[in-house]
Amino acid sequence: MGTPQEVYVNGIKKQLNNYYAAWLPSTKFQLGDVGFLTGNLFNKVTSLENLGISFKESPDHDSTKIEYVSESGVSRVIKVAGQLNPNLPNIPQGQAGIGIEFSKEGAFIIQAEESFEPFIDDLVKLEKDIRQAYQDGNWKSGWVVITQLIRSPNATIMISNSSQSKIELSAEGDVTLQGISLGNARAKFAVRAETGQIFKLIDAQNITPFFKLLQIAARPWPVFNALNFRSSSPRIGSLNAIDFITPKLAKDNLEIANSLYLDVAQKRWDSEDIE
């Protein structure tokens, strides 16, 4: 099954397709951060700025509410002020509140009232600059770069580290039934009770929980043709052509240099994948 962290980042990747999740979720990433992937976990090593590659950020001024819940293992109970709820015995009658129960390790819930999605403008220029950096030996074939990300001024993220866990939170602020949302900063949630182990970020400020990654890739057939590559493997199309290209080869061979392009980040093949 994997660790709770792996379940979380894999669950986000499955739900959001081309987006990856930050781990820890409170880690603040920036456009242009460069690193490598271990499974679906991004590890930063440098940045475009440190590599001398400039870019222009395209801002997003229209906020979007976000909510993501793992496919299974999460249930919620809401209590309005002035009422008693036997499922939330630790929340005072005069306060509103919410209870989250997790029934599997790695189950998660994420809510934010606002989010913004800036991105790097002019990917054509970025592709050209990274291609040149690769030819100069300043870019590694396994590196990926953040070209688009989600920023949230305020968000709550919870991930269960136990197969059974529960948390009860009271809303200290003046909220209506519609306002009892984990992403509502005005609710001012306070933990009243907790069982099991839960990783929680409540009212986390200015985080970047999700992002898109691009990586340098190569179109295989120009590369393999130029290398006079021969293989009897029926899975030749699954090979990463970039792994056969040294910076010097890219610099000396125009056909190979022109085969380099930016692609959506994806799992790299392992030796056991080749038959």
According to the model, what pLDDT value does residue 183 have?
Answer: 80
pTM comes to: 0.87
Q: What is the pLDDT of residues 221-245, one digit of tens each?
A: 666 666 666 554 444 445 677 888 8
Domain ranges of the chain: 4-215, 218-273
According to the model, what pLDDT value does residue 182 have?
Answer: 84
CB atoms within 10 A of CB 179: 14
- Judge whether 236 and 43 are in contact, CB under 8 Å: no
- How far apart (Å, rounded) are the C-alpha atoms in residues 101 and 104? 9
According to the model, what pLDDT value does residue 7 have?
Answer: 87
According to the model, what pLDDT value does residue 177 have?
Answer: 58
- Judge whether 194 and 167 are in contact, CB under 8 Å: yes
Distance of CA 196 to the CA centre of its chain: 25
| Structure-block tokens of residue 197 | 């182990």
According to the model, what pLDDT value does residue 271 have?
Answer: 33
CB atoms within 10 A of CB 68: 18
According to the model, what pLDDT value does residue 219 have?
Answer: 81
Residue for token pair 């991105």: 119
According to the model, what pLDDT value does residue 2 have?
Answer: 74
| Structure-block tokens of residue 103 | 């029934």
| Structure-block tokens of residue 132 | 């040149």
Q: What is the pLDDT of residues 127-149, one digit of tens each?
A: 999 999 999 999 998 999 999 99
According to the model, what pLDDT value does residue 188 have?
Answer: 84
Residue 230 has phi, psi (to 5 degrees) of: -130, 135
Residue-wise over 229-254: b if at least 16 C-beta within 10 A, else e? eeeeeeeeeebbbbebbebeebeebe
According to the model, what pLDDT value does residue 71 have?
Answer: 86
Q: What is the pLDDT along the chain (275 residues), one digit of tens a residue?
A: 578 888 899 989 988 888 999 999 999 999 999 999 999 999 999 999 999 999 999 999 999 999 999 988 999 998 888 888 888 999 988 888 899 999 999 899 999 999 999 999 999 999 999 999 999 999 998 999 999 999 999 999 999 999 999 999 998 876 765 667 788 777 788 899 999 999 999 889 999 999 999 999 988 766 666 666 655 444 444 567 788 888 998 898 888 888 899 999 876 543 333 33
- Judge whether 192 and 168 are in contact, CB under 8 Å: yes
Secondary structure string (H, E, C) spanning the chain: CCCHHHHHHHHHHHHHCCEEECCCCCCCCCCCEEEEEECCEEEEEEECCCCCCCCEEECCCCCCCEEEECCCCEEEEEECCCCCCCCCCCCCCCCEEEEEEECCCCCEEEEECCCECCEEECHHHHHHHHHHHHHCCCCCCCCEEEEEEEEEEEEEEEEECCCCEEEEEEECCCCCHHHCCCCCHHHCEEEEEEECCEEEEEEEEEEEEEEEEEEEEECHHHHHHHCCCCCCCCCHHHCCHHHHCCHHHHHHCHHHHHHEEEEECCCCCCHHHCC
